[in-house]
Amino acid sequence: MQGKESSEQKTKGKSNAGIDVCKNWLDAHLVPQGCSLRVRNDAQGHQQLKRWLMKHDVTLIAIEATGKWHRQVHRSLHASAFRVAIVNPLRARLFAEAIGLLAKTDRLDARMLALLAESLSPQAKAPASEAVEALQELVTGRDSAVAEQTALQNQLAAANSSFLRRQLKARIVRIAKDIASLQAEIERSIGNDEALARRHAILLSIPGVGPVTAATLIATMAELGSCTAKQIAMLAGLAPVADQSGAREGQRVIRAGRAAARRVLYLCALSAKRCNPAMMALYDRLTAAGRPHKVALGAVARKLVVLANTLITQNRLWQPEAPSYA
């Protein structure tokens, strides 16, 4: 009877869960109970998993981001009122090494994620809408096509063979058409969703922000409009990170964040410093003070994402003079 009472007490206590996701299976682990479950990664398996989790008072569930394979289980758990945090794989791996868990199996990863949820309490977030997920795939596809186009152009510049040059030119023409087609589909997808279309219009109203930048920010930074200026700059990887220890004061650098968003914002800054009066003034002030060109551009990019965040928060288009209530 004592064993039964102890087991019931554990079940009634607060618990955290970790779920390791792969294409075919879901491995779940609970702490402090220490129990595990494996189910198929399909609708039937999701229902079985939720019934198992409902037997425990689960505070938080941690799932490692795995491309498209974690999306349906995230959506299903969220619909059943579970708090779910999607964890960056690098962060999960560093945590595993920090606690001395060097081996890697599906069941060990599930246990590690449960311990991460218990120790770090990562922020739980609702899943992205299906429209945003579809847009993310299109934007990623366009980025890949542009990278391939650049590689082909570089190869063409170095090629001497007439046959190879003809082949490369034909491929460059074809991929240019693919990029244009992808961009058209991106804009069509945004236009079909009222909320996304409004965000798109707000972003395009900012001088220097073009269709590619606007679409990339919508797809990769769903948090726009719900964060503080400092938080959105950190998410974009544009907030200088301190490097200080004892008497040493290292140079602050920008790092981490959303690479795709940071890349388009940096390119956008090149345009904004020429056509946006406020960004031009910021760039000129920093360079006049002796700041390097890249540092000044980084500051302009940071100012742009903070401005975008403010405008979306206030649900208004950019104006040369901000309204008095803003």
pLDDT > 80? residue 305: yes
Q: Which CATH number fits domain 14-120: 3.40.50.1980, 3.30.420.40, 3.30.300.30, 3.90.1150.10?
A: 3.30.420.40
DSSP readout, 36-105? EEEEESSHHHHHHHHHHHHTSEEEEEEEE--TTTTHHHHHHHHHTT--EEEEPHHHHHHHHHHTT-----
Mean pLDDT of the 246-267 span: 79
Note the pLDDT tens digit of each residue in 40-81: 999 999 999 999 999 888 999 999 988 788 999 999 999 999
Model confidence band, residue 13 (pLDDT cutoffs 50, 70, 90): low
Structure tokens belonging to residue 255: 């790092």
Distance separating alpha carbons of residues 285 and 188, to the nearest angstrom: 40
User: Which tops the pLDDT comparison, 227 or 144?
Assistant: 144
State yes or no: pLDDT of 32 exceeds 60: yes
pTM (2 d.p.):
0.79
Mean per-residue pLDDT over the chain, rounded: 88
Task: Between 8 and 30, name the one with better pLDDT.
Answer: 30
Q: What is the CA radius of gyration of the chain?
A: 24
Mention every residue, 6+ apart, whose C-beta is less than 8 A from residue 320: 277
Read off the pLDDT of each residue in 277-293 and give the average, rounded to a whole number.
89
Supply the pLDDT for residue 2.
Answer: 45
Evaluate the omega torsion of the peptide bond into residue 292 and state whether it is cis, within 30 degrees of 0: no
The pLDDT value given to residue 258: 83
pLDDT value at 227 more than 60: yes
Q: Once rounded to an integer, what is the mean pLDDT over residues 22-29?
A: 92
Q: What is the pLDDT of residue 256?
A: 73
Sequence-ordered strand ranges (E) for the chain = 14-21, 25-31, 36-40, 57-64, 84-87, 244-245, 248-249
Percent of the chain with pLDDT over 90: 57
Least confident of 203-212, 248-257, 302-311, 312-321: 248-257
Q: Which 8-state DSSP code applies to residue 24?
A: S
| Close Cβ partners of 149 (under 8 Å, ≥ 6 residues apart) | 172, 175, 176, 179
Count of CB atoms situated within 10 Å of the CB of 63 = 26
Please say if the pLDDT value at position 251 is more than 80.
Answer: no
Amino acid residing at 200 = H
Separation between Cα atoms, residue 326 and residue 317, nearest integer Å? 12
pLDDT at 326: 47
pLDDT at site 243:
67
pLDDT of residue 14: 81
The C-alpha atoms of residue 218 and residue 181 are separated, in whole angstroms, by 19
Token duo for residue 249 = 């004061």
Instruction: Kindly tell me if the per-residue pLDDT of 12 is higher than 70.
Output: no
